[in-house]
Every structure is written in C-alpha cells, then in structure tokens.
Amino acid sequence: MLLEEVVLVDHEDNEIGFAEKLEAHRQGALHRAFSVMVWDSKGRLLLQRRQVDKYHSGGLWTNTCCGHPRPGETTLQAAARRLNEEMRVICPLTPIGTFTYRAELDAGLTEHEFVHVFRGTYDGVIAPDPVECDGYSWTSPDVIRKQVAAEPQCFSAWFKKYVEAEWPIAPPG
C-alpha cells in the first residue's frame, strides 16, 4: 500500500505542513479533511457502512463519504474524487461549511480534523466499492437521530458529532 499524506493545518485552516495519514492519526495532529452528505429527492441521506477491515471505525455507519485532500488538491476535488471512488456516485457538490472536531478512535488513533462539508443531490444507482463500503442506506434525518440515540456504538465518532450538533444532517431546501 502506498503511503498517503494529509495536509496539516492550524485552527484557521492555514496549511502548515504534511504528514503521513496514519502517523497524523496516531499523533492527533490537526489536519484538513472533508465530509460529503448526499441526499436524494425524497429528503433522505445516503449513509455508508465502512468496510469492516478499514484501519479505523470499520463496520460503523457514517455519512456518504469522507476523507482527506492530497497535497495540492482542493477539498472539492478530493470530495468529488472520493465520492466516486467509494460510492460510484458523481454529482455536483456544494460547500456548506466547516466543522472542527477531535475524537479518540479505536486502535489508539485520534481524529483531529478541520472538516470541509459538502452537500450533493443524487437519485441514481449506488454501486459502492466493496473495499471501502460494506453497505449503504437512504435514511431520513428523524430515523438517523433515533438510531444514533439508540445505538451510538454503531456510528462513526465524527458522524455522531454532526448529529449531536444537528448540523449538517438536514436535507437541502
């Protein structure tokens, strides 16, 4: 597997360097990331279940797609690239804000991310890459809130923070 670098940032998202992705998560270093929320025309959010063998948070439900821009890549470019790679979805994405969080994960890792959040609308076929995703579900915001409250251990740390903040799990419009 090729080593992947992430962009280290300060608390205002100014680039301050690069680090190998796994090492950044071991150290809890603040780095740039993105999250994508894809909605259908019925107001349901596309959730994915992370592939069980992922290096962290395997088997947990989360937003449509997330990841890290590569050095020299914009967050929008990275979000569109990973959305296609993970879920085989291509749709226009709109930035809707940023979200900074820190969370302790499994395997002794720490997520400390300055996240750029994007929204898209899509009603086509979903054909996720099985290396990335073990399943998916189109789910309404009310059901998401109930599921996270009833079984928080089934959801990624960052997605629980989004739901707790009630942002950005609201359909467009």
Q: Residue 2's pLDDT band (boundaries 50, 70, 90)?
A: low
At residue 128, the pLDDT reads 96
Annotated binding-site residues for Mg(2+) read: 86
Q: Which domains, ranges and CATH numbers included, belong to the chain? A: 5-164 (3.90.79.10)
The pair of structure tokens assigned to 153 is 């251990």
Q: Residue 1's pLDDT band (boundaries 50, 70, 90)?
A: very low
At residue 112, the pLDDT reads 96
> What CA–CA distance (Å, rounded) separates 30 from 11?
8
What phi and psi values does residue 5 have, to the nearest 5 degrees?
A: -95, 150
Annotated binding-site residues for Mn(2+) read: 25, 31, 68, 111, 113
At residue 173, the pLDDT reads 63
> What CA–CA distance (Å, rounded) separates 6 from 78?
11
> What CA–CA distance (Å, rounded) separates 35 from 39?
13
**Model confidence, pTM:** 0.91
At residue 37, the pLDDT reads 95
User: Which sign, positive or negative, has the C-alpha torsion 16, 17, 22, 27?
Assistant: negative
Report CA Rg, the chain.
15
Mark whether 65 is an active-site residue. no
**Could you say which of 85, 104, 113, 164 is catalytic?**
113
At residue 55, the pLDDT reads 76
> What CA–CA distance (Å, rounded) separates 62 from 31?
19
CA dihedral defined by 68, 45, 94, 85, rounded to 10 degrees?
A: 40
Q: Looking at residues 11-25, what average pLDDT do you find?
A: 94
**Could you say which of 66, 73, 85, 133 is catalytic?**
66
Q: Looking at residues 102-124, what average pLDDT do you find?
A: 91
> What CA–CA distance (Å, rounded) separates 22 from 4?
8
What would the pLDDT profile of 21-68 be if each residue is shown by its tens digit? 989 999 999 999 999 999 999 999 999 999 988 877 889 999 999 999
Mark whether 73 is an active-site residue. no
